[in-house]
């Protein structure tokens, strides 16, 4: 589904990603695990076309997408949930979903009604301005807005940051559900327990370098190795 090969990216003169290579297989969840400032966000932004890599390849279904604008990458089936609670504050919950709606690509059609069945609170507040929602509700809307675009691949940056444990549990259950339905996930996170609950494979990133790669079975049996690579 997605392959990054020796990707190098810069912010201005600052070299932030160094020969990043990773693979995300179709229908799986992959977690890019690392501390704040490790390079997780830059990796996702490079895949999404919001940062233009200086070298390397990013293959989406065997097609190199480096250099394409973000809107074209989105048209090819990549959804993006950025870090932070970024909603259209002056629009209602329903309008936030309406502006993001795209036709189904693979038979799994995410509509507003389906979103409300997963997150009933959003259905209750469908006429409310998004800016008046709580942090957890805005994150639900942030993720829902990406889902109604019906992507094949969903990039999610720090989905659990600052959220209550109950909300984190609900989001984990949602991601497991949509993975079972065939949606491919690449998540950036620093919550090890979240990564272990959801992922099929884990990459650890530090200072812009991939320092460790493991499948989930090995990771669960060797938590010390994960902790050592995260330097915690």
- In this prediction the pTM is 0.92
Separation between Cα atoms, residue 50 and residue 207, nearest integer Å? 20
**Residue in this structure with the two tokens 């919001």, named with its chain if needed:** 50
What 3-state class would DSSP assign to 19? strand
Query: What is the token pair recorded at 88?
Result: 């259209």
Parallel, antiparallel, or unpaired for β 184-189 and 29-33? Answer: parallel
Query: What is the token pair recorded at 89?
Result: 């504050």
Domains and CATH numbers, the chain: 1-77+152-166+182-232 (3.40.50.300), 83-150 (no CATH)
CA distance from start to end of the chain? 32
Q: List, in sequence order, the alpha helices (H) in the chain.
A: 40-48, 70-75, 93-100, 112-118, 120-124, 135-147, 165-180, 192-198, 216-221, 223-230
pLDDT in tens, the chain (232 residues): 999 999 999 998 999 999 999 999 999 999 999 999 999 999 999 999 999 999 999 999 999 999 999 999 999 999 999 987 788 999 999 999 999 998 887 667 899 999 999 899 999 999 999 999 998 899 999 999 999 999 999 999 999 888 888 888 888 998 999 899 889 999 999 989 999 999 999 999 999 999 999 999 998 888 888 888 886 4
Helix axes 135-147, 165-180, angle to 10 degrees: 10
**Other CB atoms closer than 10 Å to residue 61's CB: what's the count?**
13
Separation between Cα atoms, residue 29 and residue 175, nearest integer Å? 9
- Of 173, 230, 231, residue with least CA distance to 34: 230
């Amino acid at each position: 589904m997605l392959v990054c090969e020796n990707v190098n990216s810069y912010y201005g003169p600052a070299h932030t990603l160094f020969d990043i290579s990773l693979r995300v297989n179709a229908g799986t969840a992959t977690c890019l695990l690392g501390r704040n400032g490790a390079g997780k966000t830059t990796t996702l932004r490079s895949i999404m076309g919001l940062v233009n890599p200086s070298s390397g390849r990013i293959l989406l279904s065997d097609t190199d997408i480096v250099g394409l604008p973000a809107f074209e990458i989105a048209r090819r089936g990549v959804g993006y949930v950025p870090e932070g609670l970024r909603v259209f504050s002056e629009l209602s919950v329903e309008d936030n979903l309406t502006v993001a709606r795209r036709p189904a690509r693979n038979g799994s059609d995410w509509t507003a009604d389906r979103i409300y069945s997963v997150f009933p609170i959003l259905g209750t507040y469908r006429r409310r301005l998004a800016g008046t929602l709580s942090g957890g509700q805005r994150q639900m809307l942030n993720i829902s807005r990406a889902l109604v675009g019906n992507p094949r691949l969903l990039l999610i940056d720090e989905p659990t940051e600052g959220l209550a444990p109950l909300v984190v549990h609900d989001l984990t259950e949602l991601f497991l559900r949509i993975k079972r339905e065939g949606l491919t996930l690449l998540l950036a996170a620093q919550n090890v327990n979240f990564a272990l609950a959801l992922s099929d494979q884990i990459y650890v990133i530090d200072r812009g370098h991939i320092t460790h790669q493991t499948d989930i079975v090995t990771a669960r049996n060797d938590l010390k190795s994960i902790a050592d690579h995260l330097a915690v």
